[in-house]
Amino acid sequence: MPDVTLIIDGRTVTVPAGTNIVDAARTTEVAIPVFCYHPKLKPVGMCRMCLVEVWTPLIDQATRQPVLNPDGTPKLGLMMGKLQPGCVTPVAAGMVVKTVTDKVQFAQRGQLEFLLSSHPLDCPVCDKGGECPLQNLTMQFGPSTSRYDYQDKVHFEKPIPLGDTIYLDRERCILCSRCVRFQDDIAGDPVLGFDSRGRSWEIISKSDPPFDSKFSGNTTDICPVGALTSSDFRFKARVWEVRPVPVVCTHCPVGCNITLDMRHDRLMRVMPRENDFVNEIWNCDKGRFGMRHVDDATRLTTPLVRRGEQLVPASWDEALRVAAQGLMRVRSSAGATALAGMIGADASNEDFALFRHVMHGVLGTPHLDHRPGGPADVALETASARFGVSSGTNLLGLGTGTLVLLVGADPEEEAPLYVLRLRGIVARGGQLVTVNAHPTKLDGSAARVVRVAPGREAALIQAVVCGILDGGAPMSSRARGIDRLRTSLKGASAVQLAAAAGVEFEVVRALTDQLISAPNMIIMIGRTGLAQGSAVSDAVGALAAVTGAFGRPGSGVIALNPGGNARGAQDLGIVPGEGGLAAAQYWDAIARGELKAMLVAGLDPATLGAASASALDALDFLVVQDAFLSDTARRADVVLPCAMLPERDGTFTNAERRVQRSRQARQAPDGQRAHWQILQGIAAALGSDPGYSVSSDVTDAIAAQVPAYAGARYTSLGVTAGDWGRQANESVYYDGTSYTNTEGTGVQLPTGVERDGLPPVAAPLTPLTGGVPTGTLAVLVPRAYDGRDWARGSKLAPRMVPPHVIVGPADAGTLGIGVGEPVTLTSARGSVTLPAQIDRGLAAGTVLIVDVAGFAAADLCGGVITSVDVARGEA
């Protein structure tokens, strides 16, 4: 858009046409006070706080020429003869804006007097006090006294719960509608609305359960008064008493930047920290309200060592020695291949480096894994590292011309913040296509929803690849291996593959056209896709190769590997080595007597099912590093208590391969140690102490040894790449209480293409032309609120998803199942009876089983897709 030049308070500003006056003023450090306007939301002009004088050149009606003063300058007239709201008035050439005239100040004083006429002035007990725009703007622009009688204030019942996590105080609300607009436009959960009129005008929740959104916490950040406060932080501390410590959330692969607000050594609240490349100024409720487990009373405090049937407390020295001796004893009697290790995907890169050092370097076993060893384990994929997304990709900058293809992915449950990011791309003119076997929330934002048969996502992508290769479409990809890819698909046609995917060929053709014409394409694979072997990720890689969607910012593959740092685990070699077994194969290997000892860090495989539990029982020696006495830890010979997120320093790599640093917020309450410190202790007891003293020593060692991580040292991770335009004066309060990022936005690792300069290779595919599977298929779907360890002590506890089965209306009708009634699923592995939910969007022959705590998935499912018999259950 062309630029427009105008004058604001005597300063000449040039901004793109269409910019509003408030934003234009920001660029020249003129602060226009606002309440309802928010730079991330559409302006509505409700609060009238941004009234300014707008002077425009007068046009002579007869000649259509500007009227000139005697000195030749254009004559100006006050727009509409009165003050204008700056947030809804676009800039125009020659405009002169005055923000500090008497008239403007009179309006600002009057406006604040009106807003405060029914505000309770209970700032001393208000959780917003100290970071409240209404407080600040009243001090700066408001009158010192009110002409209204204090006794005349409107009173409502104080605070009413708007949901499990949010309280609404209607007395304090100034009805700016920021929360309503956030839920409607950004979160896509339109659960809030206005009710009544006049002085009874109020915000209500329209959903059941109330405020049913995974992003509800953000409304408390952008609320310009204390009307919306979180139940999690209610009366915990005053905001000026807390010490914000920048950390990275490890609940999901997004890697949101957050701060832990500490008072002394207690966690008071979690707030988002601004990072345009990752989470903008938002975070999800799981990250915000799901950190209370760090102060849980049941945390392990001392190392435990098995004496007979009992686990008894032991000193660190003793426990580490026993652990090292036990592992060494098994190694000398049964060989290195009788040892196996697994470490959870939310550990830091430093933990992974030490884990590999101990298990592979010192003990020499090839059996390493970061996956939990259950039916939903993802296959190792290389597409996202080979094809990108390229460094420099920022989803915030993408819009028109970008196509996002979701394959077997449900970001709302796997990586909630991507919902906001992808909806943002759609709002800016991009297109979203979802390819799933079941409905997901993002279907509502998608330009095209492709419903495939369960487990047939790969067939659909292959059909598209086949269509592009056969159709003679313009193909300018530089990828290598296209000819081999073409040969590998020789036996199949797009029509056959579409039929195999259970999708009409017309849909595939239309999708193919859509993909070819998109200048930028981002393909996101979710857990359901990744867990189907490498078929989906290979097909997606091939699609990226044939469409040329790689090697430039804004194109490529994003894989939502479960866990906060699965990308780092794969990069740092926590994957089965030469001849190594994957975690899911461990249990059979133990039963066969091939594996005799294990080290399990931050995972609880005993809860997966009977096979893994009995396998863990059968081990000769088991070392567990965990924060809680999990079912796995109960079976251990040595239990080593680990430090949790606030108590450790480290780096984490997110799904877009951005390495970010998390800081230590406090000392571990009982001397628990970070995984890497524990592992270093075991290494020392084994006689191979690498001798790191602080976490950054390990980070430096990784940077020196792993080529991709060469740029990821603390110094480069700490660089802050500018924020998105706060006002000059304390204006954090105008945009929300999200913290400014002063600790660095992280470093995006280069793709293979960028490192060696060679185009990526498209792997040959095996065409999946088999017919659509008959019988009922159960899909094991992830849930964000899965009720695992992170939910301890959380305000979200009532929202945890109980184990249940979701059936479609057709199947429910055939079997005569109603909502909440028991359903029995029987597979080759076993049988389970769970209550039913009905999803109207689910096709016949597909049922969904939620993968949550309390359901031993491995007892029923052999993989993420399982063939089952469905029957009405006995009550």
Partner 1 sequence: MLGAIFNGLRTTLGYLFRKPVTVEYPEVKRPVRERFRGRHQLKRFANGMERCIGCSLCAAACPSDAILVVPAANDPAQPNSPGERYAATYEINMLRCIFCGYCEDACPTNAIVLEHQYEISFYDRTSSIFTKELLLVAADRGHGEIPPVLAQLDRRPSPPAQIDL
- Min separation Cβ 45 and partner 1, Å: 32
Single out the segment in contact with partner 1 by CB under 8 A; choices: 123-131, 461-469, 587-595, 741-749: 123-131
224-263 mask for partner 1 (x: CB under 8 A)? ----------xxxxx-xx----------------------
Phi, psi of 12 (to 5 degrees): -85, 130
- Give the C-alpha separation, 821 to 318, whole Å: 52
Q: Closest Cα partner for 344 from 165, 569, 495?
A: 569
- Min separation Cβ 651 and partner 1, Å: 34
Pick the closer one to partner 1 by CB: 240 or 775: 240
User: What is the footprint of partner 1 within residues 158-217 (CB under 8 A)?
Assistant: 158-159
- Give the C-alpha separation, 252 to 563, whole Å: 5
Q: Closest Cα partner for 650 from 626, 669, 675?
A: 675
Q: Where are the alpha helices (DSSP H) in 396-534?
A: 411-414, 417-427, 457-470, 482-488, 494-501, 505-517, 527-530
Pick the closer one to partner 1 by CB: 103 or 236: 236
- Min separation Cβ 631 and partner 1, Å: 35
Pick the closer one to partner 1 by CB: 122 or 195: 122
475, 545 contact by CB (below 8 A) = no
- Min separation Cβ 148 and partner 1, Å: 12
Pick the closer one to partner 1 by CB: 242 or 327: 242
CA distances from 609 to 378, 584, 629 (A): 18, 12, 18
Q: Closest Cα partner for 599 from 345, 355, 302, 334?
A: 355
- Give the C-alpha separation, 489 to 849, whole Å: 33
Q: Is 143 in the site for partner 1 (CB under 8 A)?
A: no
- Give the C-alpha separation, 263 to 370, whole Å: 34
Q: Is 476 in the site for partner 1 (CB under 8 A)?
A: no
Which H helix or E strand runs over 780? strand 776-782
- Min separation Cβ 226 and partner 1, Å: 11
Query: Cα angle at 338 between 335 and 342, to 5 degrees?
Result: 130
Pick the closer one to partner 1 by CB: 129 or 764: 129
- Min separation Cβ 124 and partner 1, Å: 3
* Token couple for 791: 């939910």
Single out the segment in contact with partner 1 by CB under 8 A; choices: 118-126, 270-278, 762-770, 776-784: 118-126
272, 258 contact by CB (below 8 A) = yes
Single out the segment in contact with partner 1 by CB under 8 A; choices: 124-132, 528-536, 642-650, 738-746: 124-132
Selected from 17, 93, 125, 510, the binder of partner 1 by CB under 8 A is 125
> Which residues have C-beta within 8 Å of that of residue 308, sequence separation ≥ 6?
none
Pick the closer one to partner 1 by CB: 240 or 875: 240
Helix, strand, or coil (residue 8): strand
- Min separation Cβ 192 and partner 1, Å: 23
- Give the C-alpha separation, 137 to 133, whole Å: 6
Single out the segment in contact with partner 1 by CB under 8 A; choices: 111-119, 120-128, 276-284, 800-808: 120-128
Q: Is 588 in the site for partner 1 (CB under 8 A)?
A: no
Pick the closer one to partner 1 by CB: 144 or 150: 150
CA distances from 291 to 219, 264, 645 (A): 19, 17, 9
Pick the closer one to partner 1 by CB: 169 or 413: 169
Q: Is 592 in the site for partner 1 (CB under 8 A)?
A: no
Pick the closer one to partner 1 by CB: 143 or 771: 143
Query: With CB under 8 A, what is the number of residues at the site for partner 1?
Result: 15
- Min separation Cβ 159 and partner 1, Å: 7
- Give the C-alpha separation, 568 to 199, whole Å: 54
- Min separation Cβ 238 and partner 1, Å: 5
383, 541 contact by CB (below 8 A) = yes
Pick the closer one to partner 1 by CB: 150 or 476: 150
Phi, psi of 36 (to 5 degrees): -85, -25
Q: Is 486 in the site for partner 1 (CB under 8 A)?
A: no
- Min separation Cβ 339 and partner 1, Å: 49
- Min separation Cβ 123 and partner 1, Å: 8
In one-letter notation, the amino acid at residue 338 is A
Q: Is 12 in the site for partner 1 (CB under 8 A)?
A: no
Pick the closer one to partner 1 by CB: 120 or 272: 120
Single out the segment in contact with partner 1 by CB under 8 A; choices: 116-124, 495-503, 556-564, 748-756: 116-124
- Min separation Cβ 115 and partner 1, Å: 17
Q: Where are the alpha helices (DSSP H) in 642-772?
A: 675-685, 695-705, 714-717, 732-735, 752-756
- Min separation Cβ 125 and partner 1, Å: 4
Q: Is 124 in the site for partner 1 (CB under 8 A)?
A: yes
830, 860 contact by CB (below 8 A) = yes
Pick the closer one to partner 1 by CB: 154 or 819: 154
Q: Is 155 in the site for partner 1 (CB under 8 A)?
A: no
- Give the C-alpha separation, 536 to 463, whole Å: 12
Q: Is 152 in the site for partner 1 (CB under 8 A)?
A: no
- Give the C-alpha separation, 493 to 859, whole Å: 38
Dihedral of the CA atoms 305, 311, 312, 316 (nearest 10)? 30
Pick the closer one to partner 1 by CB: 262 or 583: 262
> Which residues have C-beta within 8 Å of that of residue 775, sequence separation ≥ 6?
845, 867, 868, 869
Single out the segment in contact with partner 1 by CB under 8 A; choices: 45-53, 117-125, 176-184, 361-369: 117-125
- Give the C-alpha separation, 773 to 452, whole Å: 11
- Min separation Cβ 793 and partner 1, Å: 16
Selected from 80, 121, 447, 591, the binder of partner 1 by CB under 8 A is 121
- Min separation Cβ 237 and partner 1, Å: 8
Pick the closer one to partner 1 by CB: 125 or 810: 125
Pick the closer one to partner 1 by CB: 238 or 663: 238
Instruction: Tell me which residues touch partner 1 (CB under 8 A).
Output: 121-122, 124-125, 129, 150, 158-159, 234-238, 240-241
